[in-house]
Amino acid sequence: MTQLTLLIDQEAMPALEDRIYQFDFSRKSELIAGQTILASPAPVFSQSNNVGAAALTVGAPVISGSQVQFDITGPSTIDGTQYSVACRVKLSGGGYLIVRGKLLAQK
């Protein structure tokens, strides 16, 4: 079984093959000032080797306050693949914010 580790803001989140990952926007000044997250499309992935990001399955976003969650199912046979991930949200004030991270597939 492949293990996925999501690295966001230098914090590792170990997970099994199918897991809900959380992108935290609470430290962003716009949210501290009172804006809210209105929408978030699926996160964008790119990979570090020749394995396409299509190997990942991503569920619909769930917005909860200053956090956005996605169910991500990783590749079952690929070890050592590192994906860059970006989660972009639309704010009530009309602007956009992005949280970036890394997703590492390990057996």
23 or 16: which leads in pLDDT: 23
41 or 27: which leads in pLDDT: 27
61: CB partners within 8 A, 6+ apart: 40, 41, 42, 68, 69, 70
Q: What is the pTM of this model?
A: 0.73
pLDDT above 70 covers what percent of the chain?
Answer: 65
Q: Which helix (H) or strand (E) holds 38?
A: strand 37-39
13 or 90: which leads in pLDDT: 90
pLDDT at 10 over 60: no
Rounded Cα–Cα distance for residues 106 and 94 (Å): 38
Sign of CA dihedral 91, 43, 59, 105: negative
pLDDT at 104 over 80: no
DSSP 47-58: ESSSS-GGG-EE
Mean pLDDT score, 92-103: 88
